[in-house]
Amino acid sequence: MQSRRTFVNSLLGAGVAAPVMRGDAFRRLFRAEEVTGGRPPATMADDESYWSEIQRAFDIDRTMINLNNGGCSPAPTHVLEQMIRDLRFSNELPTEHMWRVLEPRVESVRRDLAKDFGCAPEEIAITRNASEANMTMIFGIDLKAGDEAIMTTQNYPRMQNAWKQRERRDGIVLKHVKIETPVRSTASFVQHIESAITPRTKVIEVMHVSYQTGYVAPVREIVDLARPRGIEVFVDGAHAFAQLPFTRDDLGCDYYGTSQHKRMHAPIGTGFLYVRRDRIKSLWPMMAGGVEQEGDIHKYEEIGTHPAANHNAIAVAIAFNRGIGIQRKIARLRYLRDRWANQLLAASSRVKMITEIGPAKSGAIGVVNIDGMDMAKLGGWLNSQHHIITTPMVTDEFSGIRITPNIYTSVEEIDLFADRVIRAIKTGLT
């Protein structure tokens, strides 16, 4: 078992500055670490003594059960306090405190993110969210009339709107590929994408994790399909980073955009854009930098005056996540997902999981459909009658309800959700 000094030193060795975390945050992580006894991550997934310590790092409203952590998640209290402290410090003398003192510290955040993503710091731009990162790709690539871009019909609507604007403005051809739900296999997904490729195809946009179904796309296979053809692959990683264990080299990608206010637990309004070094020069920023920045990752951060406090607090979130460990984290999220899913599946043959479940499958997102039940009404009933927040997914292609727990979610909350849905199946929405 790690000693207190060994545990703290492991964070310092990872490049995390200890002074930014309040004292009890370290104590909370250390108490949680003591519980592990050096056991493998998978064996910790159902250890409530460990996860109860992690849950106490969050100050959240427990009068509601929040099972919609897909849009954004609460930050641990010490992350929020770091941001507030820096906002106050900035406000005292902004041109000095914010610009001269705090803003340069973003380079430490860049270094730590690059270490976790597996790239050079010179390839990471700090953004405000995944949309900003992804739109930089979409509007930054040179395309002319007739050039084709491929995406699925289930890609995130904001990205689809960005491509549609390019379609209207530049005359490019946007090709939507319909993928079966649930996806039959990796080969099937790749074949659907490949069938849309023509000699005019210039770019494919793929979601690493589907916001609608939780499906984890075969990014590496898409990259390997596209690169020999000279096709760029843009990866929308909004739901994947800091949830799934992977690095840049696992994906082989040249571009990646993500939010950090989902699974990284950083402040709301933080994300990053990765662009491989040799692609930076050819990808335009959305807001112009100087000509001398043509090959500089910083050109994507030229957004005008903005708070340094938000992006600097990412460093504290990184420390928190490293203290838990990505393998331990994903094991817990899958355990929570499978706990409610298996209860519903055992209760009724009407229950169908759209998301593949199992100890090595998908991530926190789980989407379920119940034959003969209106999923939108179920979501409204759970909220109004039982104070359980979920996300109904009612589309032209499928209907379901999306459940996304978090590391602060308790098994009691998961079981209450399952119990109420089973009650609805048996007696209706009464």
**Block residue for tokens 């030193």:** 9
DSSP state, residue 291: G
Q: Which residues contact 60 (CB under 8 A, 6 or more apart)?
A: 66, 74, 408
Starting at the edge strand found earlier in the chain, the sheet holding 124-127 runs 124-127, 271-275, 255-259, 232-236, 201-207, 148-152, 173-177
The residue behind tokens 């992006």 is 311
Residue 3 confidence (pLDDT): 44
Residue 27: the pLDDT is: 61
**Residue 420 corresponds to which tokens in the numbers above?**
């109420």
Q: Residues 128-160, buried b or exposed e (16+ Cβ, 10 A)?
A: bbbbbbbbbbbbbbebeeebbbbbbebbbeebb
Domain spans of the chain, in order of start: 94-318, 328-427
Give residue 20's identity as a one-letter amino acid code: V
Q: How many CB atoms lie within 10 A of CB 185?
A: 10
Residue with tokens 């995406």: 151
Cα-based distances in Å from 196 to 85, 178, 206: 51, 10, 13
Q: Which residue from 213, 209, 222, 293 is spatially nearest to 251, judged by alpha carbons?
A: 222
CATH 3.40.640.10 at 94-318, yes or no? yes
Separation in Å, CA 162 to CA 139, 169, 226: 8, 11, 22
The letter for the amino acid at 33 is E
Residue 238: what residue type? A
Same CATH topology for 94-318 and 328-427: the answer is no
- Average pLDDT taken over every residue of the chain: 92
**What are the two backbone dihedrals, phi and then psi, of residue 188, each rounded to the nearest 5 degrees?**
-65, -45
In angstroms, the CA 424 to CA 194 distance is: 42
pLDDT value of residue 26: 54
Whole-number Å distance between alpha carbons of 145 and 173: 8
pTM attached to this predicted model: 0.91
Sheet of strand 391-394, all strands in order from the earlier edge strand to the far edge: 351-353, 366-370, 399-403, 391-394
Q: What is the DSSP-derived secondary structure letter of residue 347?
A: H
Residues 186 and 218: beta-carbon distance below 8 Å: yes
Residues 6+ apart with CB under 8 A from 72: 259, 261, 262, 268
Structure tokens at 413: 């909350």
Per-residue pLDDT of the chain (430 residues; tens, 9 = 90+): 444 444 444 444 444 443 344 446 556 665 666 767 678 888 899 999 999 999 999 999 999 999 999 989 999 999 999 999 999 999 999 999 999 999 999 999 999 999 999 999 999 999 999 999 999 999 999 999 999 999 999 999 999 999 999 999 999 999 999 999 999 999 999 999 999 999 999 999 999 999 999 999 999 999 999 999 999 999 999 999 999 999 999 999 999 999 999 999 999 999 999 999 999 999 999 999 899 999 999 999 999 999 999 999 999 999 999 999 999 999 999 999 999 999 999 999 999 999 999 988 999 999 999 999 999 999 999 999 999 999 999 999 999 999 999 999 999 999 999 999 999 999 999 8
Torsion on CA atoms 328, 61, 58, 401, rounded to nearest 10: 20
CA 413/CA 62 separation, integer angstroms? 10
CATH homologous superfamily of 328-427: Aspartate Aminotransferase, domain 1 (3.90.1150.10)
**What is the greatest pairwise CA distance in the chain?**
67
